Amino acid sequence: MSRSEEQDEQEILMRMQQQMKVLDDAYEPVNIPSLASIKAQVKERKQMKRRANRIEMILFWIVGLFIIAFGVLLFHSAPALYLGIQAISLCAAIAVAVIWSGRRRKETRHE
């Protein structure tokens, strides 16, 4: 970058900073919530989160138990099918991981 271009850039940055300062001063939030209302909201959010976590945990255990019971049943009745499903799942998981990391790398390069 040449010296004049650098000066240009500095001038633009200075003007931008001045304008943004004006914008800062011109816009004050009209309704900042009161301390009491934020506190009430914090409490409400905590309760909601606790409830959601409890439900999530219960669902997790129910689904987990179902899967384990199904796996045990399948292993005893059709071991070959059980092992086949395990192998296919493993391959699918590896394929998804490879595709996902490839896409992520590509996105980072394009940004």
Partner 1 sequence: MIQMEAAELEEVQRAIQGDDSALAELLQRHYAFVYKYLVKVTMDPNVAEETVQDTMIRCMENIHRYDGSSAFSSWMITIATRIYIDKTRRRRREQIWLEAIRNQAVRKLRWQFESRNEEWTDVMDAMTRLTPEHRIAVLLKHYYGYGYDEIGEMLGIPSGTAKSRTAYGLRQLRKELG
Give the integer Cα–Cα distance in Å for 29 and 15.
Answer: 24
Residues that contact partner 1, how many (by CB under 8 A): 31
105 binds partner 1 per the rule CB under 8 A: no
Closest approach of Cβ 10 to partner 1, in Å?
10
Cα 91 to chain centroid distance, Å, stands at 26
Closest CB to partner 1 among 32 and 80?
Answer: 32
**If you ran DSSP here, which 8-state letter would residue 30 be given?**
S
Q: In this structure, what token pair is assigned to residue 88?
A: 């296919």
Query: Chain centroid to CA 11: how far?
Result: 39
> Which residues here bind partner 1, judged by CB under 8 A?
8-9, 12-13, 15-17, 19-20, 22-24, 26-30, 32-35, 38-39, 41-43, 45-46, 49, 108, 111
